[in-house]
């Protein structure tokens, strides 16, 4: 998500920090800011919008030529993208300036304590809480490093914090828990950054930190410790990438980088969703429990990849909540005279929050007095603003045009919505909802286990460089996965690809099957409604006609082995949650095949990241 830069050295910090932020612009952001330490005081400026707005403000009111500073480009989570919510944030006495990436889950309780003690908050963010807590610690006489250790032990969630103390001008202190941070090691100067792109122009010597560690940089060196204060060591390495590769974390494409970011993205999308009482909480819901209890029909509207996430949502909502769900293409919705009432909930799924046909569809729904809830990745965008409630996916910026982590986090948001509705309507007991949430919270590790087998999928893709057509089969929640796998291949490999519900094969599509045709088969987990056995029957049908069956099936499923020419194993997960792991090999397959074909994976022909025309 956000871009972070920290610097201590001999150069003017302003130039180093602004340059670093510019090199992190690819990460996406909606505001930017800088803080410098000058003769016992914090000097800062921050502006909503692009980095150019901050640079213009600095040009009009120059900052002092000091040599310690931090900077930030923000991707809004708590609070809209405004000047007051931009980072850095300062403590009440302006002794501390702090920037932050991630989400502090228990910020509401911490904010309440601070406000009861008379602290007036200057922003809507969770970040500001950490600045005040750091300042409290410094007032006890400890230094910034110890203060950071003490504060972090009381924080919940995933975060990177970077801070400076006006009374200690020669150090920058940072902390990391499940959020990106890397140290740049120079001569007489040291750096911090969200990734190495922030400082690659100055040094190629870097240090990686473990979880729950604090790092202190000065001109003279770098010191690492645990949150408990015990000394630790970072892992040093040499960066031999150029700037373009550094932005991609060493990957050849942003899309491939974003595929590998999915464990973290799924974890971020789950942060803060369960309260201390164990109940689900969706902070931006804005629809009352009674509003939701009155809902008697749900219509999901979306386009492209988001439409397939909506199809998965239909399975989950109907199963857990017993509410009828329709899934509509946004571009068709208002032209078919849909039946809408005040008890209809329209769910709009859009990564950018600016998708034109989805926006027009929700405006039509609101004219018909229906309630609108949006699922979106971009805080402050138009669709969330015009909705009655929103679930933000917290995927962070996605640069590749073909969505990957955007899709997985939309799936998580759909599951959260389904479980929240079940909680409000009482269609599932609390322990049942908690069990599913426990399963969801294990998903980042499951996704990582699939990514660990990426080379198997790459080899499979290289074997099919000569294929001109690929089919995808699935059943139940695997059917939308098949559609999404086919879409990825169309988008970036420019191949004919179709996804089908496996039971529909005999109603026409089986005519396409010929000798050697590759068919990717998403096999449901065993043990529910004969789905697994029915899928095997479909695989036998196409294999008997010469197709090459490439099967994705859960670990331990030996019954599929006689019918799979190639078998890629998936973690054992419930059938409704299988899309989170089953789609990942299909993303890898498309990415590698497109690479082998020589295509521009990040910017495929004729496509745009956000479709802002109908």
Q: What is the DSSP string of 411-453?
A: HHHHHHHHHHHHHHHTSS-HHHHHHHHHHHHTHHHHHHHHHTT
Domain count, the chain: 2
pLDDT at 514: 87
If pLDDT is split at 50, 70 and 90, which confidence band does 1 have? low
Q: Which one of 240, 272, 291 terminates a domain? A: 240
Question: Is residue 612 pLDDT above 70, yes or no?
Answer: no
Q: Tell me how long the chain is.
A: 614
The mean per-residue pLDDT over the stretch 180-186 comes to 93
3-state secondary structure of 355: coil
What CATH number has the domain bearing residue 167?
3.60.20.10
On whether residue 353 sits in a domain, the answer given is yes
Is residue 208 within 8 A of residue 215, CB to CB? The reply is no
pLDDT digits (tens, 9 = 90+) for 256-271: 999 999 999 999 999 8
- Considering the domain architecture, whether residues 254 and 215 belong to the same structural domain is answered as no
Give the structural domain span for 290.
250-428
- Considering the domain architecture, whether residues 122 and 234 belong to the same structural domain is answered as yes
Strands 344-350, 371-376: pairing is parallel
| Strand intervals (E) in 106-188 | 157-165, 168-177, 182-185
The mean per-residue pLDDT over the stretch 539-560 comes to 92
Q: Which one of 240, 262, 287 terminates a domain? A: 240
Residues classed as catalytic: 2, 609
pLDDT digits (tens, 9 = 90+) for 309-360: 999 999 999 999 999 999 999 999 988 888 999 999 999 999 888 888 899 9
pLDDT digits (tens, 9 = 90+) for 155-164: 998 899 999 9
Question: Where is pLDDT greater, at 107 or 598?
Answer: 598
- Considering the domain architecture, whether residues 384 and 423 belong to the same structural domain is answered as yes
**Tokens (6 digits) for 480:** 């939308």
If you search the block for the tokens 């027009």, which residue do you land on? Answer: 360
The mean per-residue pLDDT over the stretch 18-31 comes to 86
Burial of 62 (0-12, 13-18, 19+ CB in 10 A): exposed
Question: For residue 154, what are the contacts with CB-CB under 8 A and spacing of at least 6?
Answer: 110, 133
**Tokens (6 digits) for 338:** 């849909």
pLDDT digits (tens, 9 = 90+) for 85-109: 999 999 999 999 999 988 898 988 9
On whether residue 463 sits in a domain, the answer given is no
pLDDT at 528: 65
Question: Where is pLDDT greater, at 154 or 26?
Answer: 154
- Considering the domain architecture, whether residues 230 and 270 belong to the same structural domain is answered as no
On whether residue 379 sits in a domain, the answer given is yes
The mean per-residue pLDDT over the stretch 403-411 comes to 96
- Considering the domain architecture, whether residues 212 and 327 belong to the same structural domain is answered as no
User: What value does the mean pLDDT of the chain take?
Assistant: 92
Least confident span in 285-299, 388-402, 577-591 = 388-402
What CATH number has the domain bearing residue 292?
3.40.50.10490
- Considering the domain architecture, whether residues 167 and 79 belong to the same structural domain is answered as yes
Regarding pTM above 0.75, the answer is yes
Percent of the chain with pLDDT over 70: 98
3-state secondary structure of 116: helix
- Considering the domain architecture, whether residues 172 and 294 belong to the same structural domain is answered as no
Burial of 574 (0-12, 13-18, 19+ CB in 10 A): middle
**Tokens (6 digits) for 418:** 């389904």
If pLDDT is split at 50, 70 and 90, which confidence band does 379 have? confident
pLDDT at 78: 76
- Considering the domain architecture, whether residues 267 and 160 belong to the same structural domain is answered as no
Q: Which one of 240, 272, 299 terminates a domain? A: 240
- Considering the domain architecture, whether residues 222 and 307 belong to the same structural domain is answered as no
**Tokens (6 digits) for 265:** 């993205």
d(CA 388, CA 572): 37
If pLDDT is split at 50, 70 and 90, which confidence band does 305 have? very high
pLDDT at 263: 95
**Tokens (6 digits) for 159:** 């975060």
- Considering the domain architecture, whether residues 66 and 162 belong to the same structural domain is answered as yes
| Strand intervals (E) in 337-403 | 344-350, 371-376, 389-392
Is residue 135 within 8 A of residue 95, CB to CB? The reply is yes
**Angle at CA of residue 589, ends 396 and 464, nearest 5°:** 160
- 3-state helix vs strand vs coil in the chain, percent to 5: 40, 25, 35
Is residue 353 within 8 A of residue 377, CB to CB? The reply is yes
Question: Is residue 70 pLDDT above 70, yes or no?
Answer: yes
If you search the block for the tokens 């965008």, which residue do you land on? Answer: 381
pLDDT digits (tens, 9 = 90+) for 426-443: 999 999 999 999 999 999
Is residue 217 within 8 A of residue 209, CB to CB? The reply is no
- Considering the domain architecture, whether residues 223 and 281 belong to the same structural domain is answered as no
If you search the block for the tokens 């007032």, which residue do you land on? Answer: 139
Residue 201 CB coordination number (10 Å): 13
């Amino acid at each position: 998500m956000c871009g972070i830069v920290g610097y201590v050295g001999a150069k003017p910090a302003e130039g180093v920090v602004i340059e670093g932020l510019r090199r992190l612009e690819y990460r996406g952001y909606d505001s930017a800011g800088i803080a410098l330490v000058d003769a016992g005081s914090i000097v800062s400026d921050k502006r909503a919008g692009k980095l150019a707005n901050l640079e213009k403000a600095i040009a009009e009111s120059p900052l002092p030529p000091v040599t310690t500073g931090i900077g930030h480009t923000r991707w809004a989570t708590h609070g809209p993208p405004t000047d007051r919510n931009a980072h850095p944030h300062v403590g009440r006495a302006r002794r501390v300036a702090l920037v932050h990436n991630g989400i502090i889950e228990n910020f509401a309780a911490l904010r309440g304590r601070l406000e009861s003690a008379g602290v007036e908050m200057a922003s809507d963010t969770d970040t500001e809480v950490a600045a005040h807590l750091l300042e409290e610690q410094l007032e006890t006489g400890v230094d910034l490093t110890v203060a950071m250790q003490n504060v972090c032990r009381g924080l919940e969630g995933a975060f990177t914090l970077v801070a400076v103390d006006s009374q200690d001008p020669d150090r920058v202190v940072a902390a990391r828990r499940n959020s990106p941070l890397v140290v740049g090691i120079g001569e007489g100067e040291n750096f911090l950054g969200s990734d190495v792109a922030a400082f690659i122009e100055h040094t190629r010597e870097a240090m990686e930190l473990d979880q729950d560690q604090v790092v202190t940089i000065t001109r003279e060196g770098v010191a690492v410790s645990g949150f408990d204060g015990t000394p630790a060591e970072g892992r040093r390495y040499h960066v031999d990438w150029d700037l373009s590769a550094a932005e991609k974390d060493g990957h050849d494409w942003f899309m491939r980088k974003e595929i590998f970011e999915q464990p973290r993205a799924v974890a971020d999308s789950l942060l803060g969703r369960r309260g201390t009482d164990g109940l689900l909480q969706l902070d931006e819901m804005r629809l009352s429990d009674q509003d939701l209890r009155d809902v008697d029909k749900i219509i999901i509207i979306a386009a492209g990849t988001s439409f397939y996430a909506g199809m998965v949502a239909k399975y989950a909502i109907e199963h857990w909540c017993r509410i009828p769900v329709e899934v509509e293409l946004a571009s068709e919705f208002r032209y078919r005279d849909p039946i809408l009432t005040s008890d209809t909930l329209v769910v709009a799924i859009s990564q950018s929050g600016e998708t034109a046909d989805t926006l027009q569809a929700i405006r039509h729904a609101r004219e018909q007095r229906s309630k609108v809830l949006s699922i979106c990745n971009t805080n402050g965008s138009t669709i969330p603003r015009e909705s009655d409630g929103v679930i933000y996916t917290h995927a962070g910026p996605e640069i590749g045009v073909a969505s990957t982590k955007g899709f997985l986090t939309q799936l998580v948001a759909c599951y959260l919505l389904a479980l929240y509705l079940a909680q409000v309507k009482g269609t599932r007991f609390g322990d049942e909802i908690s069990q599913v949430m426990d399963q969801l919270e294990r998903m980042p590790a499951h996704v990582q286990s699939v990514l660990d087998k990426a080379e198997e999928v790459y080899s499979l893709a290289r074997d099919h460089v000569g294929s001109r057509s690929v089919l995808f089969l699935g059943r139940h929640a695997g059917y939308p996965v098949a559609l999404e796998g086919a879409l990825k291949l169309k988008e970036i490999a420019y191949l004919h690809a179709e996804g089908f519900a496996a039971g529909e094969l005999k109603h026409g599509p089986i005519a396409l099957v010929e000798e050697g045709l590759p068919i990717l088969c998403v096999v449901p987990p065993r043990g529910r409604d004969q789905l697994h056995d029915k899928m095997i029957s479909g695989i036998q049908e196409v294999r008997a006609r010469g197709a090459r069956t490439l099967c994705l099936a859960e670990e331990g499923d030996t019954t599929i082995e006689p019918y799979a020419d190639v078998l890629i194993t998936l973690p054992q997960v419930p059938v409704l949650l299988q899309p989170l792991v089953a789609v990942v090999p299909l993303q890898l397959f498309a990415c590698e095949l497109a690479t082998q074909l020589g295509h521009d994976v990040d910017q495929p022909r004729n496509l745009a990241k956000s479709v802002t025309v109908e």
